Amino acid sequence: MPLTAKPLAPCNVAIAARPSQRDGAAGRDMREPVELIAKVLEKHGYTPVIENQTSADLDGLPWRSVAMEAIGDQCGLVVAVGGDGTLISVGRQVALKNVPVIGVNQGRLGFLTDLSLANVEQSLPNVLAGRYREERRVLLETRHGEHGEPTLAMNDVVVNRGGASSLVDLEISLDNRFAYGFRADGVIVATPTGSTAYALSADGPIIAPFVNAFTIVPIAPHALTNRPIVIADDSEIRITVARAREAFTSIDGHQYIPLVEGDFITIKRAAASVRLWHPLDYDYYHTLREKLGWTETPEGLAPRKI
């Protein structure tokens, strides 16, 4: 991951948040973080603007709002406030405009949101001053059928059985060559970013973000021999619904496309990618240890001497 020492020139910086719906009080737990971040930006010579939906949820903020689709043309950086889902949603939407994103964690897990609110008054100015590392995260481009519109995913594309109780029969082709078929609840195609999401819970492998690979993970397959497979990320994947009472595709867990027998989707690496900014002390393996509860040394053993 390259070390970047170029400060961000004074510009508009967008703030996007996903307010909580707890207790029917949407936004109550996000107003203070958004206001704090906006004031930090102003203090250091940047102009905070609030993403439209965030501004509507947090009614009464004094800063100008901006539509998500306009952020790429008007802003030099996006600060995503929330959990990984917020950052993934924001990153996917600004990727085509090549705008960098940094996350402030207000969620539960936080694989991607590096900055904590507790020290954002110190950590965010450090990033703005050029003390950060930039990482590119790949995206999936998905099409439904021959002429479907392309849709981007940062985590994964899933085909599953929907609300039907019966399994679906799926066929996988790679680069226009039939690879294999299986019966299962569904299948996940995940990026390295998505390998620690739904794919991990389906017993898929963890893929480091700098590895040029995707993983195809069956969901509860009928045969135990149907195992996850890791493929090169320059492969084109075609998933055909060979038999199903009901099926659908989901994109990053949000966009749903109904499928019927004979339908297919194609998945490949997108030309665009997400620019993530990390603080200088970011370490992917430390994140895995911390978030997944791994120990640095097995319990009861002395630290290894090198």
**Catalytic positions:** 84
Q: Residue type at 77?
A: L
Q: Residue type at 267?
A: I
d(CA 15, CA 126): 17
Q: What are phi and psi of 210, to 5 degrees?
A: -95, 5
d(CA 15, CA 71): 10
d(CA 221, CA 212): 26
CB atoms within 10 A of CB 9: 9
d(CA 138, CA 143): 17
Answer whether 114's CB lies under 8 Å from 103's CB: yes
Exposure b/e, 236-253, CB count within 10 A at least 16 = b:
ebbbbbeebebbbbbbbb
Q: In the structure encoding, which two tokens stand for residue 134, read together? A: 């930039």
What CA–CA distances, in Å, run from 175 to 25, 136, 306?
Answer: 49, 24, 45
What CA–CA distances, in Å, run from 100 to 67, 68, 124, 141?
Answer: 17, 14, 14, 20
d(CA 188, CA 158): 5
Provide the 8-state DSSP code for 69.
H
Provide the 8-state DSSP code for 161.
-
Provide the 8-state DSSP code for 305.
P
Give the list of residues 6+ apart from residue 165 with CB closer than 8 angstroms, or none: none
